[in-house]
Amino acid sequence: MLPSVLTLGQQATVSGSCFGAHVVVTATFFSTAIPLGSTTTDGAGRYSFTFTTPASAGPGTHRIVVTGSNPLGGLHASSVTVEVGTALPRTGLNSARLSLQAILLLALGVFLVCLAGFRRLEPRRLYRR
C-alpha cells in the first residue's frame, strides 16, 4: 500500500495483479527512469514489491511502472502515480527534559514553602517564671 505522499529515502510497497503466473516483473520509477528492482509473481499472477524512494527523485508527481508478461504471454504493464514531497527538518527544542526539571523545581519550592509554614505554626513554649 502506497502512502499519499512519499519522502526521499522512504520505503513503500506497491502491489498488483493481472500478470502471468511465476513471471518476473520489473518496477521502474519515472520522471527519469530509475530501476527499482524485480520480483516474481505468485501462482495467481500477483506481486508485491517493497522499494525505497530514490534519493535522486525530486519533489513532484512521478509514476511507478511495473512490466512483465500477462497470462497469455504478451507484455503487460501497470502503473501508479505517486507524489514525492520533502521531509521537513526537525526544528525546535526537545522540551521534555526542560519540563521535567521545571516540575521538580516547582515541587521543591512548594515543599520548602510548606515546611516554612509548618515551622511558624509550631506551638511556642511558654516559660513560666
More confident residue, 125 or 42: 42
DSSP for 35-87, please give it.
EEEEEE--TTS-EEEEEE--TTPPSEEEEEEEEEE-TTSSEEEEEEEEEEE-P
The predicted-structure confidence for 84-93, as pLDDT tens digits, reads as follows 987 666 677 7
Rounded CA-CA distance 102/114 in Å is 18
What residue numbers bound the domain in which 9 lies?
5-85
Q: Examine the pLDDT at 121 and tell me if it is beyond 90.
A: no
Would the pTM count as exceeding 0.85?
Answer: no
Is 101 part of a structural domain of the chain? Answer: no
CATH number assigned to the domain comprising residue 45: 2.60.40.2550
Counting the structural domains of the chain, the total is 1
* Residue 89, pLDDT score: 64
The predicted-structure confidence for 6-28, as pLDDT tens digits, reads as follows 988 899 999 999 999 999 999 99
* Residue 78, pLDDT score: 93
